[in-house]
Amino acid sequence: MADLTRRSFLTWTGVGALSIAAMTLAGCGPSGSGGGRDGSVRFAWWGGSDRQRAYLDALDAFTAEHPDIKVAPEFGDYTAYQERMTTQMAARDVPDVFWIPSAAVLTYRDAGLYRDLEGVDGLDLSGFDAAQVDSFRLGGTLDTLPKSVFSPVVRYNATFAEEDGVTLPDDLSWDSLAELLIDYAKDNPSGRTGTSYGAYHDMPFESFLRQRGEDLWTEDGRLGATVDGVAAWIDWWERLRTAGATTTLSQQDGIEPSWAQVGDKVLLTFANSNHIVDEAQAFPDYEFDQRDVPAGQDAAAGYHFTYYSRFAMYSGVPDDRVEAAATLMSYNLNSPELLGLVGLSAGAPPNVNLLDAYEPDATPDEQKVIAITREIAQTEQRPRFEAPAGSGSWRELMIRELEEVTLGQKTVPDAAAAFVEAVEGEIASA
């Protein structure tokens, strides 16, 4: 894609993100060298329209600071982004700098998409100590970096809680939360219920497993979740659903509701810590807050985790463009100006000094992101491993089994066993 002005790019993108993939297939996309035709650095990310506009403004600021570096932006919503990346990977026509979907970190690595960043000119990692940099490595190699960090949380409607006289206890276990939600939903005069049906939530599911001493993924690239662990998770949600403490699948239009469908109907839901920034804006008459996920006294040590949402430099970037791409990556890691424009909707910056500088000007909802980020960062955390190649459809496999259970077509143990078998089979065949 040729470098575009911000105005023409915003106009052009009205045709939809999937058109980018179509243009690439038709031979109208970027050159196979991985950069724009005029030597610009291609930068790809995903998000809604607000995030797109914010990053375009940030790229304007980057260009003003680095007038010798042109940037060709590419974006789409999360699904379209992944589809486009699949097309570009097949053509070896990958953007120079790109965000990495969570389930694809090792898949992209095994496909050879990442450039080793060790000692790359223009890459400024001075905001991180050696231990932090080591934590960014995959298998000992520094070939991706975190663009943001976040964790699973319970987000609750503080307005509803006050109106209905509900207080979430400081020591919240999975059992006590289930009891609270079931009691809340019983004969609630407001017509509200406890939560949306959310067994598809990936990060709370991972926390639930880690509290049992399991891992979602193992260091050697296998599924760490056992049939018993998966069944216990589905059982917890079935306890709520059958008691009427969740929105019905009809109310939320299936297993995966949109926030707009359920946000004004429930006391609380599970989310990632950054989601509050955008999603609270959908219901401006209510105040939302968030806290750590439930945990019993017998929870395994180190179950907490902070998720690194990563980005990378393409391995095919020509040597004469590596420094420019690294400078753009450094801007994403270290720039107060960029953070001021894009905010925390994609998560907190991994650079703590940058977060400290941003905090005084953060919005009230962003302050809540910062608070929970700092809280969880202080907890003991055992190692966490990325999803292995071949596991990219695991969420869809989970949703398929949840549909079978909620329709009464499969028992929980059978669904859990089918999920484990299907995921292990896909990893083995990758």
Domain span at 231: 152-303+390-429
Q: For residues 139 and 170, state if they share a domain.
A: no
Task: Count Cβ atoms within 10 A of the Cβ of residue 162 and give its class: 0-12 exposed, 13-18 middle, 19 or more buried.
Answer: exposed
- The predicted pLDDT at position 187 comes to 84
Q: Among candidates 239, 248, 249, 266, which has minimal Cα distance to 185?
A: 266
| Same domain? 158 vs 290 | yes
Domain termination site, one of 352, 376, 400: 376
Q: Are residues 140 and 174 in the same domain?
A: no
- The pLDDT assigned to 265 comes to 97
Residue 385 lies in a domain: no
Q: Please report, for the domain that includes residue 76, its CATH number.
A: 3.40.190.10
Whether 235 maps to a domain, the answer reads: yes
- Rounded distance between C-alpha atoms, residue 157 and residue 177, angstroms: 15
243 within some domain: yes
Q: Are 154 and 228 in contact (CB under 8 A)?
A: no
If asked whether residues 363 and 330 sit together in one domain, one would say: yes
Q: Which residue has the tokens 């994403």?
A: 332
In a domain, 33, yes or no: yes
Mean pLDDT split into 10-residue runs, the chain, 430 residues: 34 33 35 58 94 95 96 94 94 96 93 96 96 94 97 98 95 97 93 96 97 97 98 98 97 95 97 96 97 96 96 96 97 96 96 95 97 96 94 96 98 98 96
Among 86, 107, 112, which Cα is nearest to 24's?
A: 86
pTM value is 0.89
Does residue 324 form part of some domain?
A: yes
Backbone angles phi, psi at 271, to 5 degrees: -160, 175
Question: Is the domain of 111 the same as that of 236?
Answer: no
Asked if 162 and 268 sit in the same domain, the reply is yes
Tokens (6 digits) for 47: 């998000």
65 with 130, same domain? yes
Count CA atoms closer than 13 A to 149's CA, side-chain side.
Answer: 22
pLDDT of 3: 36
**Domains contained in the chain, number:** 2
- Same domain for 76 and 96? yes
3-state secondary structure of 301: coil
Q: Verify that 319 and 291 share a domain, yes or no.
A: no
CA dist., res. 367 & res. 400, Å (int): 37
Same domain, 364 and 338: yes
**179 Cβ partners below 8 Å, 6+ apart?**
none
Residue 67 lies inside a defined structural domain of this protein: yes
**Per-residue confidence (pLDDT) for residue 37, from 0 to 100:** 56
For residue 338, what are the contacts with CB-CB under 8 A and spacing of at least 6?
58, 61, 62, 331, 332
Answer yes or no: do 138 and 38 share one domain: yes
Is 314 within 8 Å of 92 (Cβ atoms)?
A: no
**How confident is the model at residue 4, as a pLDDT?**
35
Please name every residue paired with 152 in a beta bridge, in sequence order, or none if there are none: 272
**DSSP for 185-237, written as a single string:** HTT-TT--EEE---TT-HHHHHHHHHHTT--SB-TTSSB---HHHHHHHHHHH
What single-letter amino acid sits at 37? R
pLDDT for position 430: 85
Dihedral-angle region of residue 253 (phi above 0 means left; psi in -120 to 50 means alpha; beta otherwise): left
Residue 383 maps to a domain? no
Angstrom CA distances, 337 to 202, 244, 297, 353, stand at: 32, 47, 43, 14
Does one domain contain both 253 and 330?
Answer: no
| Domain assignment of residue 258, yes or no | yes
The tokens describing 45, both together, are: 């990310």
Q: What does the block give as tokens for 205?
A: 């599911």
